[in-house]
Each structure stands twice: as structure tokens, then as C-alpha cells.
Amino acid sequence: METFECIEKRRSTRNFNDLPVEWEKVGNILRAAQLAPSSGNVQDCKFVVVTDKTKRAALANAALKQHWIAKAPVIIIVYSEPKPTQRFYGLRGEKLYTIQNSAAAIENILLAATDQGLASCWVGAFDESMVNSVTGAPDSARPQAIIPIGYSDEEPVMPKRHRLVDLVYINSWKGKIVNIDLLFDDFSEVIRKKLQEAKEAAVEKGPTVGLELADKSKAGLKKIHEKIKEKLESRKKKKEKELDEEIGGEEEVLEDTEKFD
């Protein structure tokens, strides 16, 4: 599975079937977690894999009685050990870096599960002392996430996302530029509107008209993309020309060089 396809397919799943998860896949998931970045490569994360039915039920109870968690055949608890990070980075390491390190490992777990056809969910609402009681972890270890993993018994839809243009600033806070979506080749909003128009046309005038409109929309987007490429190429040539004029042509440079021989 390609990286961006995997990112787009990841969902928070809360319904699992009874199929067991292969240990090979669990190992791949843990390997992905191990490879996550950490501050100063301190590697302050630990992972507890829970398959025992009684302990899974206890973890679900610790997670504010979210009983669906117990249905997942595998639960991975991501722990952080703040003391090593605090030793190197002080209070900021203890309060921030350990959380960031855990979050990086958690995301790797979610993506590795998705890549192997498994479902997962990032659960952060739980009683830490109750979780430690189930796993036998010391108080110095902090559970950062409970991640149920299994084969999905549902097909969660993509939740609505903010537009990229509403999330990204350029060079400064609130810094905006025109058509930022086109700059990043993000046609998601344009495509969504065009597809909606096609659906409405299909209902009003028949499926043939709707399909024609969808094809026209794709062709229009392709033209926009080509124009952007042409503009970028034009800017590149202009800069090259300005540079040539500034330093002189190749022949002039050679002539000047010969004078010093």
C-alpha cells in the first residue's frame, strides 16, 4: 500500500469481528512503533500487548467503561517513561517531549495496522492508575494511549475535514496567498463541488448528463494543472535568463578568462 493511500484509509474503528490477529502482523506493528522518532533518540516508549480476555475487559472498564474495546483481540498500550527524557531535557522533556515521542509511535502503530488490513483506534480517555493496575506497570511509567487492534466489522466513512486553505499560513501567522489550494495541487474542494454538481445533474437530467459533466470537470482540472506547470516553467526560464544577464554569457566569461592566461 502506498504511503498516502494508507494515510487516507486509516479510520478510528470501534467494531471488531472475532477473527484473531496474526502475531506476524502484531510484530510488524511493534517494529513500526520502534522506528518512530524520539527526542534525542532517547526512545522512552514501551509497549504492552494485551490479548488476555479478562485483562481486555479490565482495560475497557479503565477506559471509562468503553466496553467495545474488549472486543478487539489485541490491545497495545503505549507507555512513556519520563525520567530518562527529563534527565536530558528537564521539565520540557518530561512534560512535552515524552508525549510527542509517544504520539509519533502511536501514529506509526495506526498506519502499520492499516497497511496490513487491520482496524485500530487511538483511545486517550482512561484512568491511568487503573490501567497500570491491569498491566502491573510502575507509577513512574505513564500510559499515553490504549490502541485496540483487530479486523473491522464496519466500514467507517471519512470524517469531514477542514479545507487545507483554512489550515495553512505562509511565512507568518494568518499569512495567506491567493489560490493556495492550487499551489499545493490540492483539488479536493474543487473536485468535491464538481462531483456534487454531477450528482445533482444526474438526478435532474439523467445519468448520462451527469457523467458528461463529471468528465468535463476532470478535463477542466487537468487544464488548470497544466497552466500552473506552464507558469512555473515560465518563472524558471525568466530567472535563468536574469541570471545569465547578470553574470554574462558563456562566451564572454571564456573571453575574460583568456585575458588572465
Model pLDDT for residues 201-216, shown as the tens digit of each residue: 777 776 665 566 667 6
Q: How far is CA 134 from the centre of its chain?
A: 30
Alpha carbon distance 210, 205 (integer Å): 8
Residue 51: φ, ψ to 5°: -120, -15
Cα–Cα distance for residue pair 133/139, rounded to 1 Å: 10
User: Largest Cα–Cα distance in the chain?
Assistant: 89
pLDDT for residue 248: 61
Which candidate, 39, 248, 50, 246, places its Cα nearest to that of 135? 50
Amino acid at 78: V
The better pLDDT of the pair 57, 230 is held by: 57
The mean pLDDT value for 128-134 works out to: 98
Q: Quote the CA–CA distance of 72 and 148 in Å, as a whole number.
A: 5
Short-list 132, 116, 121, 22, CA closest to 71: 121
pLDDT at site 230: 81
Q: Is the pLDDT of residue 121 over 50?
A: yes
Global confidence as pTM: 0.71
Annotated domain spans of the chain: 3-150, 183-253
Instruction: Specify the range with the lowest mean pLDDT, choosing from 41-45, 63-67, 113-117, 167-171.
Output: 167-171
3-150: CATH topology is NADH Oxidase (3.40.109)
The pLDDT of 145-169, averaged and rounded, is 91
Reported as a pLDDT band with limits 50, 70 and 90, residue 242 is: confident
Percent of the chain past pLDDT 70, that is, above it, reads: 84
